Copies of this chain bind each other. A is one copy, B any other.
Amino acid sequence: MPAVDFNTEPSRYKHWRIEFDGDVANLVMDVDPAGGLSADYELKLNSYDLAVDIELADAVQRLRFEHPEVRVVVIKSGKDNVFCAGANIRMLGKATHGHKVNFCKFTNETRLAIEDACENSKQSYLAAVTGACAGGGYELALAADHIMLVDDRRSAVSLPETALLAVLPGTGGLTRVTDKRKVRRDLADVFCSVEEGVRGKKAVDWRLVDETVAKSRWDEAVKARAAEIAARSDRPKDAKGVKLTPLARNISGDLISYPHVKVEIERARGLATISVRGPAAAVPASIAAAHQLGDQFWPLAVARELENAVLHLRFNEPKIGLIVLRTEGEAKAVLDHDAFLAKHQNDWLMREIRHYLKRVLKRIDVTAKSFVALVEPGTCFAGTLAELLFAADRALMLIGQRDGDNRPPAAIMLGEANFGFYPMGNGLTRLATRFLGEPASVARAQKKIDASLEGKEAIELGLVTFAYEAFDWADAVRIMLEERISYSPDALTGMEANLRFAGPETMETKIFGRLTAWQNWIFQRPNSVGEEGALKRYGSGIQPNFDRERI
Protein backbone atom coordinates (compact mmCIF):
# COMPACT_ATOMS: atom_id res chain seq x y z
CA MET A 1 0.00 0.00 0.00
CA PRO A 2 1.37 3.47 -0.82
CA ALA A 3 2.19 5.84 2.03
CA VAL A 4 -0.88 7.31 3.64
CA ASP A 5 -1.02 11.08 3.26
CA PHE A 6 -3.14 13.10 5.66
CA ASN A 7 -2.78 16.36 3.76
CA THR A 8 -5.79 17.31 1.75
CA GLU A 9 -8.14 20.22 1.20
CA PRO A 10 -11.71 20.65 0.01
CA SER A 11 -10.80 21.17 -3.64
CA ARG A 12 -9.23 17.72 -3.62
CA TYR A 13 -12.02 15.91 -1.79
CA LYS A 14 -13.42 12.89 -3.57
CA HIS A 15 -15.99 11.89 -0.99
CA TRP A 16 -17.37 14.94 0.74
CA ARG A 17 -18.52 18.41 -0.17
CA ILE A 18 -19.30 21.36 2.01
CA GLU A 19 -22.22 23.61 1.14
CA PHE A 20 -22.33 26.85 3.06
CA ASP A 21 -25.58 28.52 3.95
CA GLY A 22 -24.95 31.42 6.32
CA ASP A 23 -24.13 30.03 9.76
CA VAL A 24 -24.97 26.49 8.64
CA ALA A 25 -22.66 24.22 6.69
CA ASN A 26 -23.96 21.10 5.03
CA LEU A 27 -21.30 18.44 5.06
CA VAL A 28 -22.42 16.07 2.35
CA MET A 29 -21.12 12.52 2.22
CA ASP A 30 -21.06 11.35 -1.36
CA VAL A 31 -18.41 8.68 -1.52
CA ASP A 32 -16.71 7.97 -4.84
CA PRO A 33 -16.74 4.16 -5.04
CA ALA A 34 -13.44 4.18 -6.91
CA GLY A 35 -11.76 6.69 -4.61
CA GLY A 36 -10.61 4.40 -1.82
CA LEU A 37 -7.05 3.91 -0.67
CA SER A 38 -6.80 0.68 -2.59
CA ALA A 39 -8.24 -0.61 -5.83
CA ASP A 40 -9.03 -3.91 -4.07
CA TYR A 41 -12.49 -2.75 -3.10
CA GLU A 42 -15.26 -0.41 -4.20
CA LEU A 43 -16.75 2.01 -1.72
CA LYS A 44 -20.36 1.28 -2.54
CA LEU A 45 -23.35 2.75 -0.72
CA ASN A 46 -21.38 5.51 0.99
CA SER A 47 -19.23 2.96 2.76
CA TYR A 48 -15.88 4.30 3.82
CA ASP A 49 -12.22 3.54 4.23
CA LEU A 50 -9.39 5.61 5.62
CA ALA A 51 -9.36 7.85 2.53
CA VAL A 52 -12.92 8.93 3.28
CA ASP A 53 -12.15 9.52 6.93
CA ILE A 54 -9.03 11.57 6.18
CA GLU A 55 -11.23 13.96 4.22
CA LEU A 56 -13.79 14.03 7.01
CA ALA A 57 -11.11 14.84 9.56
CA ASP A 58 -9.82 17.59 7.30
CA ALA A 59 -13.30 19.03 6.86
CA VAL A 60 -13.99 18.99 10.59
CA GLN A 61 -10.72 20.79 11.20
CA ARG A 62 -11.19 23.41 8.48
CA LEU A 63 -14.75 24.14 9.53
CA ARG A 64 -13.41 25.20 12.90
CA PHE A 65 -10.50 27.29 11.68
CA GLU A 66 -11.58 28.56 8.31
CA HIS A 67 -15.23 29.12 9.13
CA PRO A 68 -15.80 30.87 12.40
CA GLU A 69 -19.20 31.88 11.07
CA VAL A 70 -20.40 28.28 10.92
CA ARG A 71 -22.39 27.40 13.99
CA VAL A 72 -24.00 24.20 12.87
CA VAL A 73 -22.71 21.49 10.61
CA VAL A 74 -25.39 19.26 9.13
CA ILE A 75 -24.08 15.86 8.09
CA LYS A 76 -26.08 14.62 5.15
CA SER A 77 -25.89 11.99 2.53
CA GLY A 78 -25.49 12.87 -1.13
CA LYS A 79 -26.96 9.55 -2.17
CA ASP A 80 -30.50 8.33 -2.41
CA ASN A 81 -31.69 5.69 0.03
CA VAL A 82 -28.47 5.44 1.98
CA PHE A 83 -26.97 7.69 4.59
CA CYS A 84 -23.84 5.63 5.10
CA ALA A 85 -23.29 1.88 5.05
CA GLY A 86 -20.36 2.02 7.47
CA ALA A 87 -16.79 0.89 7.10
CA ASN A 88 -16.25 -1.00 3.88
CA ILE A 89 -16.37 -4.71 4.55
CA ARG A 90 -14.09 -5.78 1.70
CA MET A 91 -11.53 -3.33 3.03
CA LEU A 92 -11.83 -4.77 6.54
CA GLY A 93 -11.61 -8.29 5.15
CA LYS A 94 -8.39 -7.59 3.28
CA ALA A 95 -6.66 -5.20 5.67
CA THR A 96 -3.82 -6.29 7.92
CA HIS A 97 -4.49 -6.39 11.64
CA GLY A 98 -2.32 -3.32 12.10
CA HIS A 99 -4.19 -1.34 9.49
CA LYS A 100 -7.56 -2.24 10.95
CA VAL A 101 -6.46 -1.14 14.39
CA ASN A 102 -4.93 2.11 13.15
CA PHE A 103 -7.92 2.84 10.95
CA CYS A 104 -10.33 2.41 13.86
CA LYS A 105 -8.17 4.60 16.08
CA PHE A 106 -8.01 7.44 13.56
CA THR A 107 -11.71 7.17 12.87
CA ASN A 108 -12.42 7.29 16.59
CA GLU A 109 -10.29 10.42 16.87
CA THR A 110 -12.26 12.03 14.06
CA ARG A 111 -15.54 11.26 15.80
CA LEU A 112 -14.16 12.74 19.01
CA ALA A 113 -13.06 15.84 17.09
CA ILE A 114 -16.67 16.27 16.03
CA GLU A 115 -17.74 16.06 19.65
CA ASP A 116 -14.98 18.44 20.67
CA ALA A 117 -16.30 20.98 18.15
CA CYS A 118 -19.79 20.67 19.62
CA GLU A 119 -18.62 20.95 23.19
CA ASN A 120 -15.79 23.42 23.00
CA SER A 121 -16.29 25.51 19.89
CA LYS A 122 -20.05 25.73 19.86
CA GLN A 123 -19.88 24.43 16.33
CA SER A 124 -22.52 21.76 16.69
CA TYR A 125 -23.11 18.78 14.47
CA LEU A 126 -26.52 17.64 13.44
CA ALA A 127 -26.87 14.28 11.72
CA ALA A 128 -29.73 14.44 9.24
CA VAL A 129 -30.25 10.79 8.49
CA THR A 130 -32.05 9.73 5.34
CA GLY A 131 -31.81 6.16 4.12
CA ALA A 132 -29.92 3.27 5.63
CA CYS A 133 -27.59 4.34 8.39
CA ALA A 134 -25.69 1.21 9.28
CA GLY A 135 -22.68 0.32 11.39
CA GLY A 136 -20.02 2.98 11.07
CA GLY A 137 -22.66 5.15 9.42
CA TYR A 138 -24.66 5.17 12.62
CA GLU A 139 -21.43 5.58 14.59
CA LEU A 140 -20.84 8.76 12.59
CA ALA A 141 -24.35 9.96 13.41
CA LEU A 142 -23.72 9.11 17.07
CA ALA A 143 -20.85 11.61 17.11
CA ALA A 144 -23.30 14.41 16.34
CA ASP A 145 -25.00 16.36 19.09
CA HIS A 146 -28.39 15.77 17.62
CA ILE A 147 -29.69 12.99 15.38
CA MET A 148 -32.72 13.43 13.14
CA LEU A 149 -34.15 10.49 11.26
CA VAL A 150 -36.59 10.80 8.43
CA ASP A 151 -39.75 8.80 8.99
CA ASP A 152 -40.29 7.30 5.56
CA ARG A 153 -40.81 3.68 6.60
CA ARG A 154 -37.41 2.79 5.13
CA SER A 155 -34.76 4.91 6.79
CA ALA A 156 -33.34 3.19 9.84
CA VAL A 157 -30.32 3.19 12.10
CA SER A 158 -28.53 -0.07 12.78
CA LEU A 159 -25.41 -1.68 14.22
CA PRO A 160 -25.32 -5.02 12.42
CA GLU A 161 -21.62 -5.78 12.97
CA THR A 162 -22.09 -8.50 15.58
CA ALA A 163 -24.70 -10.31 13.56
CA LEU A 164 -23.23 -9.91 10.09
CA LEU A 165 -19.49 -9.53 10.49
CA ALA A 166 -18.63 -11.07 13.85
CA VAL A 167 -16.90 -7.86 14.91
CA LEU A 168 -18.00 -4.93 17.08
CA PRO A 169 -19.32 -1.50 16.25
CA GLY A 170 -15.92 -0.40 17.44
CA THR A 171 -15.63 3.16 16.25
CA GLY A 172 -17.08 4.16 19.56
CA GLY A 173 -20.40 2.59 18.64
CA LEU A 174 -21.15 0.40 21.63
CA THR A 175 -19.77 2.94 24.08
CA ARG A 176 -21.70 5.85 22.59
CA VAL A 177 -24.88 3.76 22.65
CA THR A 178 -24.55 2.98 26.36
CA ASP A 179 -22.72 6.05 27.66
CA LYS A 180 -23.66 8.94 25.38
CA ARG A 181 -27.14 7.98 24.22
CA LYS A 182 -27.64 5.98 27.43
CA VAL A 183 -29.67 3.33 25.68
CA ARG A 184 -30.91 0.68 28.10
CA ARG A 185 -28.52 -2.24 27.98
CA ASP A 186 -31.00 -4.91 26.98
CA LEU A 187 -32.42 -2.70 24.25
CA ALA A 188 -28.88 -2.00 23.09
CA ASP A 189 -28.35 -5.75 22.99
CA VAL A 190 -31.46 -6.20 20.87
CA PHE A 191 -30.55 -3.25 18.66
CA CYS A 192 -27.21 -4.91 17.89
CA SER A 193 -29.02 -7.95 16.57
CA VAL A 194 -31.62 -6.25 14.39
CA GLU A 195 -29.90 -6.28 11.02
CA GLU A 196 -32.53 -4.16 9.33
CA GLY A 197 -32.23 -1.58 12.08
CA VAL A 198 -34.70 0.45 14.09
CA ARG A 199 -36.76 3.27 12.65
CA GLY A 200 -39.49 5.75 13.44
CA LYS A 201 -40.91 6.18 16.90
CA LYS A 202 -39.13 3.14 18.28
CA ALA A 203 -35.79 4.70 17.40
CA VAL A 204 -36.76 7.72 19.50
CA ASP A 205 -38.21 5.65 22.33
CA TRP A 206 -35.04 3.61 22.54
CA ARG A 207 -32.99 6.85 22.61
CA LEU A 208 -31.20 5.90 19.39
CA VAL A 209 -32.11 9.18 17.67
CA ASP A 210 -33.43 12.46 19.00
CA GLU A 211 -36.36 12.90 16.66
CA THR A 212 -38.04 11.55 13.58
CA VAL A 213 -39.73 13.76 11.04
CA ALA A 214 -42.13 12.92 8.26
CA LYS A 215 -40.65 13.06 4.81
CA SER A 216 -42.95 15.88 3.74
CA ARG A 217 -41.62 18.16 6.46
CA TRP A 218 -38.01 16.95 6.39
CA ASP A 219 -36.06 19.72 4.66
CA GLU A 220 -37.89 22.39 6.54
CA ALA A 221 -37.52 20.60 9.89
CA VAL A 222 -33.77 20.09 9.43
CA LYS A 223 -33.36 23.76 8.59
CA ALA A 224 -35.42 24.83 11.55
CA ARG A 225 -33.51 22.59 13.94
CA ALA A 226 -30.19 23.82 12.57
CA ALA A 227 -31.29 27.42 13.00
CA GLU A 228 -32.39 26.75 16.54
CA ILE A 229 -29.07 25.15 17.45
CA ALA A 230 -27.17 27.94 15.69
CA ALA A 231 -28.93 30.51 17.82
CA ARG A 232 -27.39 28.98 20.95
CA SER A 233 -23.80 29.28 19.70
CA ASP A 234 -21.35 31.96 20.74
CA ARG A 235 -19.28 31.80 17.58
CA PRO A 236 -18.50 35.23 16.14
CA LYS A 237 -20.67 36.44 13.31
CA ASP A 238 -18.21 38.58 11.39
CA ALA A 239 -14.86 37.02 12.11
CA LYS A 240 -12.52 36.10 9.31
CA GLY A 241 -11.37 32.51 9.17
CA VAL A 242 -7.79 31.40 9.11
CA LYS A 243 -6.79 29.49 6.03
CA LEU A 244 -4.95 26.25 6.71
CA THR A 245 -2.37 26.32 3.95
CA PRO A 246 -0.57 23.18 2.77
CA LEU A 247 2.03 21.97 5.24
CA ALA A 248 5.61 22.61 4.18
CA ARG A 249 6.83 19.07 4.62
CA ASN A 250 9.93 17.62 3.10
CA ILE A 251 10.62 13.88 3.19
CA SER A 252 14.14 12.96 2.31
CA GLY A 253 15.05 9.39 3.04
CA ASP A 254 14.69 8.92 6.76
CA LEU A 255 14.42 12.61 7.53
CA ILE A 256 11.07 14.36 7.58
CA SER A 257 11.28 18.11 8.02
CA TYR A 258 8.71 20.76 8.68
CA PRO A 259 9.47 24.35 9.65
CA HIS A 260 9.12 23.60 13.38
CA VAL A 261 9.22 19.83 13.61
CA LYS A 262 11.82 17.35 12.47
CA VAL A 263 11.55 13.56 12.46
CA GLU A 264 14.70 11.48 12.17
CA ILE A 265 14.20 7.77 11.72
CA GLU A 266 16.81 5.24 12.78
CA ARG A 267 15.41 2.24 11.02
CA ALA A 268 17.88 -0.30 12.34
CA ARG A 269 16.96 0.58 15.91
CA GLY A 270 13.24 0.92 15.24
CA LEU A 271 13.45 4.41 16.68
CA ALA A 272 12.48 7.92 15.57
CA THR A 273 13.36 11.23 17.13
CA ILE A 274 10.81 14.01 16.95
CA SER A 275 12.33 17.42 17.57
CA VAL A 276 10.04 20.36 18.12
CA ARG A 277 11.33 23.91 17.76
CA GLY A 278 10.11 26.63 20.05
CA PRO A 279 8.94 29.96 18.63
CA ALA A 280 11.52 31.84 16.59
CA ALA A 281 9.63 35.11 16.88
CA ALA A 282 8.25 37.08 19.78
CA VAL A 283 4.53 36.94 20.47
CA PRO A 284 2.44 39.08 18.16
CA ALA A 285 1.93 42.65 19.24
CA SER A 286 -1.81 42.26 19.31
CA ILE A 287 -4.56 39.76 18.79
CA ALA A 288 -5.11 41.26 15.37
CA ALA A 289 -1.49 40.56 14.55
CA ALA A 290 -1.93 36.96 15.66
CA HIS A 291 -4.88 36.59 13.33
CA GLN A 292 -2.77 38.13 10.61
CA LEU A 293 -0.15 35.42 11.14
CA GLY A 294 -2.88 32.85 10.64
CA ASP A 295 -1.51 29.35 10.35
CA GLN A 296 2.03 30.67 10.69
CA PHE A 297 1.35 31.67 14.30
CA TRP A 298 3.67 29.35 16.19
CA PRO A 299 1.19 27.42 18.39
CA LEU A 300 -1.00 26.62 15.41
CA ALA A 301 1.87 25.85 13.08
CA VAL A 302 3.55 23.53 15.55
CA ALA A 303 0.28 21.75 16.33
CA ARG A 304 -0.30 21.00 12.65
CA GLU A 305 3.21 19.76 12.07
CA LEU A 306 3.35 17.63 15.20
CA GLU A 307 0.00 16.06 14.41
CA ASN A 308 1.06 15.25 10.89
CA ALA A 309 4.34 13.74 12.11
CA VAL A 310 2.59 11.51 14.65
CA LEU A 311 0.01 10.29 12.14
CA HIS A 312 2.69 9.67 9.56
CA LEU A 313 4.67 7.53 11.99
CA ARG A 314 1.57 5.62 13.04
CA PHE A 315 0.46 4.64 9.57
CA ASN A 316 3.61 4.61 7.50
CA GLU A 317 6.24 3.48 9.99
CA PRO A 318 4.69 0.58 11.92
CA LYS A 319 8.07 -0.91 12.76
CA ILE A 320 9.23 2.27 14.44
CA GLY A 321 8.13 1.49 17.98
CA LEU A 322 10.02 4.03 20.04
CA ILE A 323 9.79 7.80 19.73
CA VAL A 324 12.30 10.09 21.37
CA LEU A 325 10.86 13.53 22.01
CA ARG A 326 13.16 16.54 21.95
CA THR A 327 12.64 20.26 21.86
CA GLU A 328 14.91 23.11 20.99
CA GLY A 329 14.60 26.82 21.58
CA GLU A 330 13.82 29.33 24.27
CA ALA A 331 11.60 28.21 27.11
CA LYS A 332 10.58 31.78 27.75
CA ALA A 333 9.33 32.16 24.19
CA VAL A 334 7.03 29.15 24.63
CA LEU A 335 5.64 30.51 27.87
CA ASP A 336 5.07 33.89 26.24
CA HIS A 337 3.00 32.24 23.56
CA ASP A 338 1.04 30.29 26.18
CA ALA A 339 0.40 33.53 28.05
CA PHE A 340 -0.81 35.11 24.85
CA LEU A 341 -3.24 32.22 24.31
CA ALA A 342 -4.46 32.58 27.88
CA LYS A 343 -4.80 36.34 27.74
CA HIS A 344 -6.92 36.11 24.61
CA GLN A 345 -8.81 33.00 25.57
CA ASN A 346 -12.09 34.57 24.61
CA ASP A 347 -10.92 35.12 21.07
CA TRP A 348 -12.39 32.40 18.90
CA LEU A 349 -9.11 31.63 17.15
CA MET A 350 -7.05 31.37 20.32
CA ARG A 351 -9.72 29.05 21.70
CA GLU A 352 -9.49 26.90 18.59
CA ILE A 353 -5.73 26.71 18.84
CA ARG A 354 -5.80 25.59 22.45
CA HIS A 355 -8.31 22.87 21.78
CA TYR A 356 -6.36 21.78 18.74
CA LEU A 357 -3.16 21.47 20.77
CA LYS A 358 -5.17 19.46 23.27
CA ARG A 359 -6.28 17.07 20.53
CA VAL A 360 -2.77 16.70 19.16
CA LEU A 361 -1.45 15.83 22.61
CA LYS A 362 -4.26 13.30 22.98
CA ARG A 363 -3.16 11.69 19.73
CA ILE A 364 0.17 11.03 21.42
CA ASP A 365 -1.61 9.55 24.46
CA VAL A 366 -3.29 6.92 22.29
CA THR A 367 -0.43 6.24 19.89
CA ALA A 368 0.80 2.66 20.18
CA LYS A 369 4.45 3.57 20.36
CA SER A 370 6.66 4.22 23.37
CA PHE A 371 7.55 7.85 23.99
CA VAL A 372 10.65 8.96 25.83
CA ALA A 373 11.42 12.64 26.38
CA LEU A 374 15.01 13.80 26.75
CA VAL A 375 15.70 17.07 28.55
CA GLU A 376 19.15 18.43 27.77
CA PRO A 377 20.78 21.84 27.53
CA GLY A 378 19.22 23.76 24.68
CA THR A 379 15.81 22.14 25.01
CA CYS A 380 12.69 24.13 25.80
CA PHE A 381 10.30 21.81 27.60
CA ALA A 382 8.22 24.68 28.89
CA GLY A 383 4.49 25.21 29.17
CA THR A 384 2.78 23.64 26.18
CA LEU A 385 5.95 21.80 25.21
CA ALA A 386 6.38 20.53 28.78
CA GLU A 387 3.18 18.57 28.18
CA LEU A 388 5.32 16.35 25.97
CA LEU A 389 7.25 15.34 29.10
CA PHE A 390 4.07 14.38 30.86
CA ALA A 391 2.63 12.61 27.81
CA ALA A 392 5.81 10.56 27.48
CA ASP A 393 6.13 7.17 29.12
CA ARG A 394 9.36 8.37 30.64
CA ALA A 395 11.30 11.63 30.79
CA LEU A 396 15.03 11.69 31.33
CA MET A 397 16.90 14.84 32.25
CA LEU A 398 20.51 15.83 32.23
CA ILE A 399 21.69 17.53 35.39
CA GLY A 400 23.45 20.80 34.64
CA GLN A 401 25.68 21.29 31.64
CA ARG A 402 28.03 19.24 29.53
CA ASP A 403 31.74 19.92 29.39
CA GLY A 404 32.44 22.38 26.60
CA ASP A 405 28.80 23.29 26.16
CA ASN A 406 28.22 26.76 27.47
CA ARG A 407 24.49 26.79 27.00
CA PRO A 408 22.53 27.17 30.21
CA PRO A 409 21.89 23.99 32.21
CA ALA A 410 19.02 21.79 31.12
CA ALA A 411 15.84 23.14 32.63
CA ILE A 412 12.10 22.74 32.53
CA MET A 413 9.63 25.58 32.94
CA LEU A 414 6.03 25.19 33.96
CA GLY A 415 3.34 27.62 32.94
CA GLU A 416 -0.38 27.93 33.33
CA ALA A 417 -0.78 25.77 30.23
CA ASN A 418 0.21 22.79 32.37
CA PHE A 419 -2.64 23.35 34.78
CA GLY A 420 -5.74 23.22 32.66
CA PHE A 421 -5.18 24.01 28.97
CA TYR A 422 -4.92 20.41 27.85
CA PRO A 423 -7.02 17.86 29.71
CA MET A 424 -6.40 14.25 28.75
CA GLY A 425 -9.17 11.91 27.63
CA ASN A 426 -9.84 11.09 31.29
CA GLY A 427 -10.77 14.72 31.93
CA LEU A 428 -7.74 15.45 34.11
CA THR A 429 -4.61 17.39 33.26
CA ARG A 430 -1.51 15.33 32.65
CA LEU A 431 -0.05 16.60 35.91
CA ALA A 432 -3.18 15.70 37.88
CA THR A 433 -3.13 12.22 36.35
CA ARG A 434 0.57 11.93 37.10
CA PHE A 435 0.09 12.92 40.70
CA LEU A 436 -3.11 10.99 41.35
CA GLY A 437 -1.56 9.54 44.50
CA GLU A 438 -0.09 12.81 45.71
CA PRO A 439 -2.39 15.68 44.74
CA ALA A 440 -0.33 18.10 46.80
CA SER A 441 2.41 17.70 44.24
CA VAL A 442 0.23 19.46 41.67
CA ALA A 443 -0.06 22.51 43.90
CA ARG A 444 3.64 22.33 44.68
CA ALA A 445 4.47 22.35 40.99
CA GLN A 446 2.03 25.18 40.39
CA LYS A 447 3.99 27.36 42.79
CA LYS A 448 6.99 26.92 40.50
CA ILE A 449 5.34 28.45 37.46
CA ASP A 450 7.87 30.46 35.45
CA ALA A 451 10.83 29.16 37.46
CA SER A 452 13.69 27.51 35.64
CA LEU A 453 13.72 24.00 37.09
CA GLU A 454 17.01 22.20 36.70
CA GLY A 455 17.55 18.45 37.00
CA LYS A 456 17.68 17.97 40.73
CA GLU A 457 14.69 20.18 41.39
CA ALA A 458 12.71 18.59 38.55
CA ILE A 459 13.31 15.17 40.11
CA GLU A 460 12.40 16.45 43.52
CA LEU A 461 9.15 17.86 42.13
CA GLY A 462 8.39 14.57 40.38
CA LEU A 463 8.35 16.13 36.91
CA VAL A 464 10.83 13.76 35.28
CA THR A 465 11.56 10.08 35.75
CA PHE A 466 15.32 10.16 36.09
CA ALA A 467 18.04 12.79 36.07
CA TYR A 468 21.65 11.98 35.31
CA GLU A 469 24.91 13.84 35.58
CA ALA A 470 26.52 14.60 32.23
CA PHE A 471 29.06 11.79 32.54
CA ASP A 472 26.32 9.18 33.02
CA TRP A 473 23.89 10.60 30.50
CA ALA A 474 24.86 8.96 27.24
CA ASP A 475 25.09 5.46 28.74
CA ALA A 476 21.89 5.80 30.71
CA VAL A 477 19.95 6.94 27.66
CA ARG A 478 21.46 4.29 25.41
CA ILE A 479 20.76 1.45 27.83
CA MET A 480 17.22 2.61 28.45
CA LEU A 481 16.44 2.85 24.74
CA GLU A 482 18.01 -0.52 23.97
CA GLU A 483 16.05 -2.14 26.74
CA ARG A 484 12.79 -0.66 25.49
CA ILE A 485 13.50 -1.75 21.96
CA SER A 486 14.07 -5.32 23.12
CA TYR A 487 10.55 -5.73 24.54
CA SER A 488 7.60 -7.25 22.79
CA PRO A 489 5.79 -4.52 20.85
CA ASP A 490 2.43 -5.99 21.82
CA ALA A 491 3.18 -6.15 25.52
CA LEU A 492 4.29 -2.51 25.37
CA THR A 493 1.11 -1.50 23.58
CA GLY A 494 -1.03 -3.18 26.22
CA MET A 495 1.05 -1.89 29.10
CA GLU A 496 1.08 1.69 27.90
CA ALA A 497 -2.66 1.63 27.14
CA ASN A 498 -3.17 0.81 30.81
CA LEU A 499 -0.53 2.92 32.52
CA ARG A 500 -1.23 6.12 30.62
CA PHE A 501 -4.79 6.50 31.88
CA ALA A 502 -4.97 6.34 35.64
CA GLY A 503 -7.96 7.70 37.45
CA PRO A 504 -11.41 8.41 36.09
CA GLU A 505 -12.70 6.95 32.88
CA THR A 506 -14.81 8.89 30.42
CA MET A 507 -16.66 7.92 27.29
CA GLU A 508 -13.47 8.76 25.44
CA THR A 509 -11.16 6.59 27.53
CA LYS A 510 -13.72 3.81 27.46
CA ILE A 511 -13.70 3.92 23.68
CA PHE A 512 -9.93 3.69 23.46
CA GLY A 513 -9.38 1.46 26.47
CA ARG A 514 -12.29 -0.94 26.68
CA LEU A 515 -14.07 -1.04 23.35
CA THR A 516 -10.92 -0.81 21.24
CA ALA A 517 -9.15 -3.49 23.21
CA TRP A 518 -12.02 -5.92 22.76
CA GLN A 519 -12.25 -5.09 19.08
CA ASN A 520 -8.51 -5.64 18.64
CA TRP A 521 -8.96 -9.03 20.27
CA ILE A 522 -11.84 -9.89 17.97
CA PHE A 523 -9.91 -8.61 14.95
CA GLN A 524 -7.46 -11.44 15.51
CA ARG A 525 -9.94 -14.22 16.14
CA PRO A 526 -10.53 -16.84 13.45
CA ASN A 527 -14.27 -16.34 13.83
CA SER A 528 -13.91 -12.93 12.21
CA VAL A 529 -10.70 -12.99 10.17
CA GLY A 530 -10.07 -16.71 9.58
CA GLU A 531 -10.65 -18.25 6.18
CA GLU A 532 -14.06 -19.45 7.37
CA GLY A 533 -14.69 -16.33 9.44
CA ALA A 534 -17.45 -13.80 8.94
CA LEU A 535 -15.31 -10.99 7.51
CA LYS A 536 -13.87 -13.28 4.88
CA ARG A 537 -17.10 -14.96 3.96
CA TYR A 538 -19.32 -11.88 3.97
CA GLY A 539 -21.19 -11.62 0.71
CA SER A 540 -19.99 -15.01 -0.52
CA GLY A 541 -23.30 -16.68 0.13
CA ILE A 542 -21.51 -19.18 2.39
CA GLN A 543 -22.20 -19.00 6.09
CA PRO A 544 -19.17 -18.48 8.31
CA ASN A 545 -18.08 -21.47 10.33
CA PHE A 546 -17.60 -20.52 13.95
CA ASP A 547 -15.61 -22.17 16.69
CA ARG A 548 -18.37 -22.22 19.30
CA GLU A 549 -16.10 -21.92 22.31
CA ARG A 550 -16.98 -18.93 24.44
CA ILE A 551 -13.95 -17.15 25.86
The CA of A185 and the CA of B393, in the complex, are separated in Å by 7
Q: Is the CB of A502 within 8 A of B182?
A: yes
**Nearest B residue (CB) for A194:** B483
The CA of A490 and the CA of B547, in the complex, are separated in Å by 9
**A332-364 at interface with B (beta carbon < 8 Å):** none
Taking the closest CB of chain B, its distance from the CB of A334, in whole angstroms, is 22
Task: Indicate with 1 or 0, residue by residue over A181-212, a CB within 8 angstroms of chain B CB atoms.
Answer: 11111111110110000000000000100000
Q: Is the CB of B551 within 8 A of A186?
A: no
Q: Is the CB of B499 within 8 A of A163?
A: no
**Nearest B residue (CB) for A185:** B499
**What number of A residues sit within 8 Å (CB to CB) of B?**
95
Cβ-based interface call for A168 (8 A): yes
Q: Is the CB of B521 within 8 A of A465?
A: no
Cβ-based interface call for A146 (8 A): no
Taking the closest CB of chain B, its distance from the CB of A498, in whole angstroms, is 4
Indicate whether A207 sits within 8 Å of B490 (C-beta atoms), given known contacts A185-B500, A318-B551, A551-B318: no
**Nearest B residue (CB) for A465:** B186
Q: Is the CB of B548 within 8 A of A521?
A: no
Chain B residues with Cβ below 8 Å from A497 are: 514, 518
Q: Is the CB of A534 within 8 A of B488?
A: yes
**A356-408 at interface with B (beta carbon < 8 Å):** 368-369, 392-395
From B437, B490, B491, contact of A161 by CB (8 A)? B491
The CA of A187 and the CA of B493, in the complex, are separated in Å by 17
Q: Is the CB of A525 within 8 A of B524?
A: yes
Taking the closest CB of chain B, its distance from the CB of A413, in whole angstroms, is 19
Chain B residues with Cβ below 8 Å from A491 are: 161-162, 165-168, 522, 527-528, 534
Chain B residues with Cβ below 8 Å from A525 are: 488, 490, 524
**Nearest B residue (CB) for A182:** B437
Chain B residues with Cβ below 8 Å from A19 are: none
Taking the closest CB of chain B, its distance from the CB of A461, in whole angstroms, is 12
The CA of A534 and the CA of B496, in the complex, are separated in Å by 19
Q: Is the CB of B544 within 8 A of A488?
A: yes
Task: Indicate with 1 or 0, residue by residue over A414-440, a CB within 8 angstroms of chain B CB atoms.
Answer: 000000000000000000011111100
Chain B residues with Cβ below 8 Å from A22 are: none
Chain B residues with Cβ below 8 Å from A492 are: 162, 550
Cβ-based interface call for A510 (8 A): yes
The CA of A534 and the CA of B525, in the complex, are separated in Å by 20
The CA of A513 and the CA of B101, in the complex, are separated in Å by 18
Q: How many copies altogether?
A: 2
Indicate whether A504 sits within 8 Å of B502 (C-beta atoms), given known contacts A183-B437, A189-B394, A527-B489: no
**Nearest B residue (CB) for A322:** B550
Cβ-based interface call for A519 (8 A): yes
Chain B residues with Cβ below 8 Å from A498 are: 168, 174-175, 178, 514-515, 518
Chain B residues with Cβ below 8 Å from A465 are: 186-187, 189-190
Q: Is the CB of A369 within 8 A of B174?
A: no
From B167, B184, B462, B546, contact of A434 by CB (8 A)? B184
Cβ-based interface call for A494 (8 A): yes
Q: Is the CB of A487 within 8 A of B178?
A: no
The CA of A549 and the CA of B489, in the complex, are separated in Å by 7
Q: Is the CB of B434 within 8 A of A522?
A: no
Cβ-based interface call for A259 (8 A): no
Taking the closest CB of chain B, its distance from the CB of A551, in whole angstroms, is 5
Chain B residues with Cβ below 8 Å from A524 are: 521, 524-525
Q: Is the CB of B435 within 8 A of A184?
A: yes
Chain B residues with Cβ below 8 Å from A499 are: 174, 177-178, 185, 188-189, 192
From B189, B318, B462, B520, contact of A521 by CB (8 A)? B520
Taking the closest CB of chain B, its distance from the CB of A139, in whole angstroms, is 13
Cβ-based interface call for A226 (8 A): no
Chain B residues with Cβ below 8 Å from A493 are: 518, 550-551
Chain B residues with Cβ below 8 Å from A436 are: 178-179, 182
Task: Indicate with 1 or 0, residue by residue over A241-277, a CB within 8 angstroms of chain B CB atoms.
Answer: 0000000000000000000000000000010000000
Cβ-based interface call for A225 (8 A): no
Cβ-based interface call for A215 (8 A): no
- Using CB atoms and an 8 Å cutoff, list the residues of chain A in contact with chain B: 97-98, 101-102, 161-163, 165-168, 174-175, 177-179, 181-190, 192-193, 207, 270, 318-321, 368-369, 392-395, 433-438, 462, 464-466, 483-484, 487-505, 509-510, 513-515, 517-522, 524-525, 527-528, 533-534, 544, 546-551
19 A-B pairs with C-beta separation under 8 A:
A98-B549, A161-B491, A162-B491, A183-B437, A190-B466, A270-B548, A318-B551, A320-B550, A321-B550, A488-B534, A489-B527, A489-B546, A491-B522, A491-B534, A494-B518, A498-B518, A505-B510, A517-B520, A520-B551
Contacts A189-B394, A321-B548, A498-B515 known; 10 new A-B pairs at CB < 8 A = A163-B487, A165-B491, A168-B498, A174-B499, A179-B503, A186-B465, A319-B549, A488-B534, A513-B517, A521-B524
